[in-house]
Chains A and B, each alone.
Chain A
Amino acid sequence: MSRGKSGTSLAKKHNRAGWIFLTPATIMIAAMSFYPMISAFFLSLQSGKGNNLTFAGLSNYTRMFKDVVFIQSIKNCFFYLIIQVPIMLILALILASLLNNKDLKFKGLFRTAIFLPCATSLVSYAAIFRALFAVDGLINVILIKVGIFDAGYNFLANATSARIVIIIALIWRWTGYNMVFYLSGLQNIEYSVYEAAKIDGASPFQSFRKITVPLLKPTILLTAIMSTNGTLQLFDESWNLTYGGPANATISMSHYIYNMTFKYVPNFGYAAAMSYLILFLVAILAFVQMKVGDTRD
């Protein structure tokens, strides 16, 4: 009897230790994410300049659907999302399965090289790409030498080419990052499965499609959600690479919210309402991706 009693009190003591261990982290997330999220909601129902706020109901929410620049920023983010994320993830998947092949040499070298762009900060690589694609930048110098252009082309002054430069830059920076996740996922697939498939006469492309992709599905889902989230929250590239221009053609949602908050006369209420739309979009897209990821078996 006494043994059982001391056992339960020990279990209680351990349970309490567990709660104590997770308390600091939990409090910090509550204070730094959930509390601001709630206060952003109340803020979004108010209107006014600076700190002189009055209750405004849902007017901030109706306002944003008439705001041409904000609608443009939503369109821009979705343009990046639809074009850049699939290209990047497929490329990362192909590279990872190539690097998982036991017949190839120098794999460590290739892996390091492809992952290296991730070591640069977003501001830094934005500066590098801005310089490379400048009117007098290296890309123009090469294109003139090859004879494609007669004079330097201003990539960042044309809406379409500026968007493409952002997409190229994003692919360059993030492909290696996603590749590492796939490489880790591939470690959990027995290599003998591939050898068996080879004996059965499967081509590399067939084993990629029939073995790699289905078995990596959870990791693919994870990276798809992360990239979607990242693209909808895009800020540094829009701010530093194209300055949102020409004429807001490349501005991202976060960039516009930042302008509304800190660059013009602050309109905290309206900015908070727009930020709630981002949250809403992120949540919906994550939900859809999880549904699709679940049913495709």
Chain B
Amino acid sequence: MTKGQKVVAYTILTIVSFVSIFPLYWMISAATNKSVDVSRGRVIPGGELINNFKNLMAQYDVGSAMWNSFKYAVILTLLALFICSLAGYGFEIYYSKGKDRVMSILLLAMMVPFAAIMIPLYRMFSSAGLLNSTLGFILPTISTPFLIMLFRQSARSFPHDIIEAARMDGLNEFQIFYKMFFPTMRSTYAAAMTITFMTAWNNYLWPKVIMTDKTSITMPMLVANLKEGYVTDYGMLMLAVLLCTIPTAIVFFILQKSFAEGITGAVK
């Protein structure tokens, strides 16, 4: 690269990075300022964080929304990872034509728009008494073609020698899965975990449909309710947005490296 080209590259990257980070920085700074100051264009952090927090807690049940979101997302992630990795492993390691046909039918589900199945799902779940329940939140996305495919791709690189050796040692097929496959595929599990947790935490439409009770709402629903008021308190609103973003940001930073590796395995 010539020097000129390098300057152009750094300039582009710096500008894009700035644009990417600035709204997030602004969110944090607004959460620490009074609403009036935010409207006046103040972009440096202020000392109103505690006050905004007190106002928010006094008017909304943030604790319960955080707990709900956390509970739904964690349970969904654990179950989805287990069910989908088991299936991905099954499709790849015990390959047969029949299983391959099943897989291609499952892939069709990727094209099904959520809006199309939302109404029948709502009717199914309300007659089964699953509105406002954790089970109601997790069932529709507990098994996704995307996750199955991710695990199937990574199972491709799992050596057959290990399976044969484990069989010699007398392990049964399920033991091979959880004692051999599970520990070796850490980066795939990390990638799957990042994606599933973030999608579950951020999901808005489905909980909006089935969480009809005030006590079962999620954090994104609380943020949406918060800005529907007549006068918007920016400081309070951005603090709620910040609280809603912290968990996914933490997961993202912890698993970032394995996320990139896991995706690389899947795109190959």
Contact = CB atoms under 8 A, between A and B. Distances in A.
Interface residues of B, number: 94
A159 interface: no
Interface stretch (B16-24, B50-58, B182-190): B16-24
Contact of A28 (B43, B83, B94, B244): B83
B165 interface: no
Nearest to A141: B41
B87 A121 contact: no
Contact of B24 (A17, A120, A276): A120
A21 B113 contact: no
A70 interface: no
Interface in B172-195: 173-174, 177
A19 interface: yes
Interface string B102-137: 100010011111111111111110000000000000
B20 A128 contact: no
Nearest to A275: B116
Interface string B176-218: 0100000000000000000000100110110001000000000
A228 B116 CA distance: 16
A101 B223 CA distance: 40
A233 B94 contact: no
Interface in A73-132: 91, 94-95, 98-99, 101, 103-104, 109-110, 112-125, 127-132
A119 to B, nearest CB: 4
Interface in A3-29: 14-15, 17-22, 24-26, 28-29
Contacts, number: 277
B23 A103 contact: no
A155 interface: no
B12 A94 contact: yes
A85 to B, nearest CB: 16
Interface of A is mostly: helix
Interface string B224-246: 10110000101001100100110
A121 B13 contact: no
Interface in B126-177: 139-145, 148, 173-174, 177
B256 interface: yes
Nearest to B43: A138
Contacts of A132: 23, 26
A72 interface: no
A24 B143 contact: yes
Given A14-B173, A119-B248, A184-B263, A254 B238 contact: no
Interface of A: 14-15, 17-22, 24-26, 28-29, 32-37, 39-40, 43, 91, 94-95, 98-99, 101, 103-104, 109-110, 112-125, 127-132, 134, 136-138, 141-142, 145, 172, 175-176, 180-181, 183-185, 187-188, 204, 219, 222, 229, 232-233, 235-236, 239-240, 253-254, 257-258, 261-262, 268, 271-272, 275-276, 278-279, 282-283, 286
Q: List the 4 closest A-B pairs by CB distance, nearest first.
A: A18-B94, A21-B90, A141-B41, A25-B87
21 contacts: A18-B94, A21-B94, A22-B102, A24-B86, A29-B109, A36-B117, A36-B120, A43-B120, A99-B13, A104-B10, A120-B241, A124-B27, A127-B238, A132-B26, A175-B16, A184-B267, A229-B111, A235-B205, A254-B205, A278-B113, A278-B115
